[in-house]
Amino acid sequence: MSKRNVSMTVNGKSVSAEVEPRTLLIHYLREHLNLTGSHIGCDTSHCGACTVDLDGKSVKACTVFAVQAEGAEVLTIEGMAAGDGALHPLQEAFREMHGLQCGYCTPGMIIRAHRLLQETPNPSEAEIRIGISGNLCRCTGYQNIVKAIQYAAAKINGVEYKEAAE
């Protein structure tokens, strides 16, 4: 099959690669750019492990062709930490609040939570649960993921995190 040059900005860097038109964005990222933080967890567009930010929207990168992202701005988990390696508040929050076990869902979950907090800086628990409903976690039971997102929201908003009474 003939290949096409596909260019975009990923984590602030201009990138391009020759790919077949059928190449999915998740394969472009993982196989052509070596950005393996975004995972593949299903064949059915269900799990959200592949979630990336595409022009300010959360998308499942297994549902988008790379050619559709031509010229786009993409953020993956590799772009979350600061240049000096300092963790993003969401990364720190997942660590502090034990928001992961095996970690397979975590990159997609953090990228999704990032967009959620951009859109809703101070979300309620219900808004968080709805906001991450496209991302499956098979380990944690979600409780600590919700707490991690609340913790990150507090940190980003400069307020003290208070754990809700059980």
Which stretches of the chain bind ligand FES, using CB under 6 A?
A: 40-42, 45-50, 60, 62, 100-106, 137-140
Q: Measured from the CB atom, is 12 or 141 closer to ligand FES?
A: 141
Query: Phi/psi of residue 54, each to 5°?
Result: -125, 110
Q: Measured from the CB atom, is 33 or 105 closer to ligand FES?
A: 105
| CB-based contact 50:61 (threshold 8 Å) | yes
- Minimum CB distance to ligand FES, residue 8 (Å): 18
Helix axes 106-119, 89-96, angle to 10 degrees: 120
Q: Which two tokens stand for residue 3?
A: 């290949």
Q: Measured from the CB atom, is 15 or 139 closer to ligand FES?
A: 139
- Minimum CB distance to ligand FES, residue 131 (Å): 16
- Minimum CB distance to ligand FES, residue 87 (Å): 17
User: In a 10 Å sphere around its CB, with 0-12 CB exposed, 13-18 middle and 19+ buried, how is residue 139 labelled?
Assistant: middle
Closest to 39 (Cα-Cα) out of 106, 116, 131: 106
Q: Measured from the CB atom, is 51 or 150 closer to ligand FES?
A: 51
- Minimum CB distance to ligand FES, residue 23 (Å): 14
- Minimum CB distance to ligand FES, residue 57 (Å): 15
Q: Measured from the CB atom, is 40 or 87 closer to ligand FES?
A: 40
Question: What are the start-end ranges of the H helices in 2-161?
Answer: 25-27, 89-96, 106-119, 125-131, 143-157
| CB-based contact 55:72 (threshold 8 Å) | yes
